[in-house]
């Protein structure tokens, strides 16, 4: 989809962000359902949204150098222009804004 929109430079970043957000939903909640979508939000931007049926909102971790886990949202924060979460009917939505102009 990103290539069709003329945003091929966002493909690798989007794949990583989706992977981290979905993994976070699967590993850290009791969600029965997880879904993901991507929407073009401007000429050079897109928004990734991951929804799940858990009300548990994500928080940035502070892993020690020896920890094998806990860096997913730190990676999302580094790759995305902005990210956040909000409750929705039946669970929550976690989103990340990506920009092709390099302003992360």
Residue 52's Cβ-count burial label (10 Å; 0-12, 13-18, 19+) is buried
Domains, the chain, in order of start with CATH, read 3-99 (3.30.565.10)
> pTM for the complete prediction?
0.89
User: CB of 97 within 8 A of CB of 17?
Assistant: no
List, in sequence order, every beta strand (DSSP E) within the chain: 34-42, 45-52, 82-88, 91-99
CB atoms within 10 A of CB 68: 6
pLDDT in tens, the chain (104 residues): 899 999 999 999 999 999 999 999 998 888 889 999 999 999 999 999 999 999 988 988 787 787 777 788 999 999 999 999 999 999 999 999 999 986 54
Rounded to whole angstroms, the maximal C-alpha distance in the chain is 41
């Amino acid at each position: 989809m990103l290539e069709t929109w003329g945003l091929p430079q966002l493909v690798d970043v989007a794949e990583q962000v989706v992977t981290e957000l979905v993994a976070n939903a699967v590993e850290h909640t009791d969600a029965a359902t997880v879904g993901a979508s991507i929407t073009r939000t401007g000429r050079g931007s897109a928004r990734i949204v991951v929804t799940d049926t858990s009300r548990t909102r994500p928080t940035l971790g502070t892993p020690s150098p020896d920890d094998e886990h806990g860096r997913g949202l730190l990676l999302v924060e580094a790759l995305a222009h902005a990210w956040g979460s909000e409750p929705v009917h039946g669970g929550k939505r976690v989103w990340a804004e990506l920009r092709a102009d390099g302003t992360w």
